[in-house]
Amino acid sequence: MLSTGTRLVASVAPRAAAEIAGLYSEALSLGADIVELRLDAMGRLDGAAISEALRSPGISCDRLLLTYRSPEEGGLGPLPLHDPAVAALVGDLWRGCSGSLVDLEVEALSRSERLRELAREAVNHSVISKHYNNSTPTIDAAKRDYARMSSAGHYVKMVFRASSPLDNLLPIALQRASGRGRLIAFCSGHAGLLSRVMSAVLGAPLAYVSLPGRPLAEGQMGPAEFAALVDGVSSALAMGRAEQRPSPLKLISMDREEDRRGDKNDKHHPFQGRGRPTPWAGAEGLQTGPCQSAQ
């Protein structure tokens, strides 16, 4: 888990069920908190073989995210998530792997009652997703989409396409407006790196990374380098906020200066010549070392 509280999700693409256990172990060894199993990468969707692989020793369902990405949303397989056979497979795998997360595309939910039923069952374990590959919405339209998606599941994942660095401003603004805990918003593409990092800095619950050298989307990084970037940016922002706050001694100095100006400007002040009492009376005796905690 990152210092921001964000959990790292490493996306892996097994070509067959026999590869699942090895990829799972590799992802966790590199620092991932959760492993996203991209079912759409598999050449043949053999439900029995996949279920058996998920029961392998060492695999914990509560560290799995089951995802079948539709082709129109950037998936690797030929069929959409709302295809009856695919929807049935995803539902069966999730029910057989208690505690796992499941990715459900909001557009697929509108086309499949089977998926809507799964969304109701997995309401506390779902990632409701949408990939804007062909168009970029306005911030108001994106907020409306977020409201609609958040009513369908636990987490909301909104991915926009970045063709320039300025495109990162939309997910960053959306992430700030939504607060911490539910939204994962960023841009894909190499130009979207900034929003991937800022999503985690601003409190997204999940951040997507890849195995080193094996990204499943442009802009994905390995767990270690992504964590280093997020921690570095978070630390720099925290230092900047701390430098903007005046120290207690500076506040005392400012208060005294205001008192002196007030005494000079008000010749009839009742405390003229005797010193005005302030909340900092007696501060002359304060030490400049570390403050003592209240007892």
d(CA 105, CA 90): 12
Q: Would you say the pTM of this structure is higher than 0.85?
A: no
d(CA 187, CA 131): 9
Averaged pLDDT in 10-residue chunks for the chain of 295 residues: 95 97 98 98 95 96 98 96 98 96 98 98 98 91 96 97 94 92 95 96 97 92 96 89 60 57 51 38 34 36
Instruction: Please state, in angstroms and as integers, the Cα–Cα distance from residue 136 to each residue in 76, 133, 139, 140, 158, following that order.
Output: 22, 8, 9, 12, 11
**Per-residue pLDDT, 134:** 84
d(CA 75, CA 194): 23
The domains located in the chain, with CATH, are: 7-241 (3.20.20.70)
d(CA 168, CA 172): 6
**Per-residue pLDDT, 269:** 43
**Per-residue pLDDT, 221:** 95
d(CA 82, CA 109): 7
Which two tokens mark 221?
A: 């990084």
Instruction: Please state, in angstroms and as integers, the Cα–Cα distance from residue 49 to each residue in 27, 81, 225, following that order.
Output: 21, 19, 34
